[in-house]
Amino acid sequence: MSELELYADGRLDDLAPEARRHLLERAPEDAPGLSRQVTELMAEVRAEGDAALRRMAERFDGVTLESIEVPRDRWAAARDRLDPDVRAALERAADNIRRFHEAQIPEDVTVEVEPGVRITRRWTALERVGVYAPGGRAAYPSSVLMGVVPAAAAGVDEVVVCSPPVPGEGPSDGVETGAGGVPGDAVLAACAIGGADRLFALGGAGAVAALAFGTESVPAVDAVVGPGNRWVTEAKRQVAGRLLIDSPAGPSEVLVLADDGTDPELAAHELLAQAEHDPEAACVLVSTDAHVLETARTALVRLLEEAPRAEVARTALAAHGAFLLAGDRDQALAFTEAWAPEHLSVLTRTAEDDARRIRTAGTTFVGPWASVAFGDYLTGANHVLPTAGRARSFSGLSTHHFLRSFTVQEIDEEGAASMAEDAARLARAEGLPAHGQAALARASTNPSTLRRP
């Protein structure tokens, strides 16, 4: 067996400041000029519309688009070509996602804050949203479902999907990629199963620009969600002031929290499952027990020897992997909160209590039966989650991303009379006399007779 190369390996107390900073501040560095290049690409789409999108498909995807939009009958055909077992699993996933996200829709709230003053907070679905579905190496039908199904559950009028076109290839794991010039069969089938309304063969920053600004073929949307590469993430960042986006999502990551009650084999499986995603994935095992760390290391080395994506996983572990020994439970929990993982796997004896104490995670899996893989595919929770420590500020994708709220204020004669004088005083203090006049007018038995503040 080969040795396991990790970025950091040892006691938390001995972790050098630069190593700690590398582990905590793990957002990938931007390629030189990325922001400027994305700005230029988006400007092309805004100025030239479909012509720019076709040019980008040839430049970046090597595809000449017959049509930017993919007809619905091609989705259905792709769904029908699926291996029946794969299709059944996707349908099961879609049902669970729908069930969980429908339950998240908030109720309108009405409060009578004082006699005669009733305030209501109302929720309404967005009219049209865009879901970005990665293609190429990261073409995941499960990610399509995670964007499309919650949007439909929220009541969005039109759910638009963009995914890069790919050249035709042979079947793989029961899912064919289909003909060239359109997204692969996995994406097409997921759009049909999830209930999307429209699908466009577009990828990268150009797709985000098309969704944000609209073109001759692509309608402008009110929100753009879904994972993507650095180009997609930067494009979403640049349009964030124009429309709603979800959290910035980068390479996958997991932190496994362990102690002397942990099964090291399970810990190794969870680390490998995320490490195989991407060479930049971040995978950390924190334990209060040195024996668990050593046994998990042995198990992970063995699993890597047999893993089809071992090269990807080894690269990720060497760049962002860590096995860290905590002095006690409090230190382990404190580091976990500081690391703010996308996925947190709690395999300790006191898993339920430990999970409650961690407030900064995209999603938490509690106990030895709760594999992150279940959440990636089937539980119904969303797997589009904040990474790189952004769980300290952002939440994972949910029904709430497809809703907006507004307030309705009902004030009767009693309420107006009660508030008029104080409103006028505050208006006078702020130097806005017309505000005060508008308030006092409601307190008069004859609204046409204004009382000056």
Q: Which residues pair with 244 in a beta bridge?
A: 223
List the 244-245 sheet strands across, edge first: 198-201, 158-163, 128-132, 223-225, 244-245
Q: Alpha-carbon distance 349 to 339, whole Å? A: 21
Q: Alpha-carbon distance 283 to 413, whole Å? A: 62
Give yes or no: 342 in active site: yes
The dihedrals phi and psi of 10, each to the nearest 5 degrees, come to 150, -160
The dihedrals phi and psi of 417, each to the nearest 5 degrees, come to -65, -35
Residue 452 structure tokens: 């000056």
Q: Are 226 and 245 in contact (CB under 8 A)?
A: no
SS3 at position 47: helix
Q: Which residues pair with 366 in a beta bridge?
A: 346
Catalytic residue, candidates 101, 277, 320, 343? 343
Q: Are 125 and 104 in contact (CB under 8 A)?
A: no
Catalytic residue, candidates 342, 352, 400, 430? 342
Q: Alpha-carbon distance 384 to 402, whole Å? A: 14
Q: Alpha-carbon distance 44 to 21, whole Å? A: 38
Look at the chain and count its residues: 453
Residue 214 structure tokens: 């609209």
Residue 437 structure tokens: 């006049």
C-alpha neighbours within 13 Å on the C-beta side of residue 213: 23
Residue 74 structure tokens: 């091609």
Q: Which residues pair with 361 in a beta bridge?
A: none
Q: Which residues pair with 406 in a beta bridge?
A: 122
Q: Are 221 and 128 in contact (CB under 8 A)?
A: yes
Residue 236 structure tokens: 């979403």
Q: Cβ–Cβ contacts within 10 Å for residue 99, how many?
A: 12
Catalytically annotated residues = 342-343
